[in-house]
Amino acid sequence: MDGGGGFWQGEKPASHPQIHTMILPKSNRLTPEQVAEVTAIVGEFGCSIQPIVGAVRTIYAIVGDERDELMINRLEGLSFVDRIDRIQSPFRLMDRRSDLSSHRIRIGGVTLGEDLAIIAGQCTIDPKNPNYFLETAVAVKEAGAHVLRGGVWKPRTNPYAFQGDSKSIEILMEASRITGLPVDAEVMDEEQLQVALDAGVHMLQVGARNALNYSLLRSIGRAVAKRDTIVLLKRSLHMGSLSEFISAAEYIAAFGNPNVILCPRGTAPALDGYRNHPDESITPLLKEKTWAPVVIDPSHSVGKASYVPACALAAVAYGADGLCIEAHVSPSQGIGDDPKQALTPAVLADTIAQAKQIWSLRHGAVGRG
Ligand code: PEP
Ligand code: MN
């Protein structure tokens, strides 16, 4: 894996140093002693300083591979430095301008970015009633889903609530065999990761609660490095900037498998009446920064079946590449989130049909946004 600057080399102009990071002093210019101090620091990291002299103010470009976090931290710690401005993206792989920008993810017969991808299925597989899941699998396929979702292990706020069951992995894979659909399941630790990979799960979901769990992200990145497994990375409620979200994807891709999909699923604070604050509107912002496909999860965003179709359609209007929707043949008999937010197969089919119309409007007239 190229963990260094290789992906950027093609962009370097032949004769001018590439400048990405600037030191902005508190005063109009640094004293010669201050210049010597910053020169010594950047020199330790193989970089040099180039002053850019303005009429009033001088700023100082760092020339060289200036991405070392420690160097930046040391410069930011200097009392005479106001701030460090970075022009270069911190994402070597997930950046929209990286060499991976033409990478396409294909699953269930669709190529993300070229067709609207639909992931659908139950929140939670009930191991005591496997037939519900098997029936749901067939129904979501008929409704137009390309990937079947099913929660085997569940992150639950209440420690006494049903936590999932490894036995459900067999039900998930049985549903995959019956329908021919690839399957998506959330994993929360290394043991579950191994069980899911051994069983042949095609898409691993990193849930909102674990999207900032860097050691899990690394374990997943390492485990999928030599496979074509896809990772659906949910947006954490605790993520600040969009860069934090994309950086989490970079953690996985850095090990060598760039098949990472970003999945906004509603954020905090909850909008009165909705489960979370719907965040499908960040899709165009994400697309400005990263080439990664964006699949919106309207189910966890609004948290109630009657609001899900509108959120799903809005997501496609905002330019989403796909939708991840909870659905159940008989929501009231479901467990986990299904009784409150799962769509029936009929509503799912209508929602997919309408979403496809919006997709065609955007992609026929406007093109990929
Ligand atoms: C889920 O997909 O059922 C789930 C728990 O999602 P999230 O991590 O987004 O809450
Ligand atoms: Mn759920």
pLDDT at residue 67 in the model? 79
Q: Which of 106, 197, 178, 186 is nearest to 146 (CA)?
A: 106
- Residue 158: CA count within 13 A, CB half-sphere: 4
Is 155's C-beta closer than 6 angstroms to any atom of ligand 1? yes
Contact 242, 285 (CB under 8 A): yes
pLDDT at residue 92 in the model? 86
Is 362's C-beta closer than 6 angstroms to any atom of ligand 1? no
Is 232's C-beta closer than 6 angstroms to any atom of ligand 1? no
Q: Nearest bound ligand to CA 209?
A: 1
How remote is the C-alpha of 46 from its chain's centroid? Answer: 33
Give the tens place of pLDDT for each residue, 82-93.
Answer: 999 987 677 889
Q: Whose CA is nearest to atom 2 of ligand 1?
A: 123
Divide the 369 residues of the chain into consecutive groups of 10 and give the mean pLDDT of each group. 29 44 95 98 95 90 88 96 85 91 96 98 98 98 98 95 96 98 98 98 98 98 97 96 96 96 97 97 98 98 98 98 98 97 98 98 65
The whole-model pTM stands at 0.85
Centroid of ligand 1 to alpha carbon of 333 (angstroms): 19
H-only helix segments in 144-264: 168-179, 190-199, 214-224, 242-253
Contact 348, 327 (CB under 8 A): yes
Centroid of ligand 2 to alpha carbon of 365 (angstroms): 35
pLDDT at residue 19 in the model? 64
Give the tens place of pLDDT for each residue, 285-299.
Answer: 999 999 999 999 999
pLDDT at residue 7 in the model? 27
Q: Whose CA is nearest to atom 9 of ligand 1?
A: 208
Is 207's C-beta closer than 6 angstroms to any atom of ligand 1? yes
pLDDT at residue 18 in the model? 59
Contact 323, 118 (CB under 8 A): yes
Q: Which two tokens stand for residue 354?
A: 């309408």
Centroid of ligand 1 to alpha carbon of 155 (angstroms): 8
pLDDT at residue 8 in the model? 25
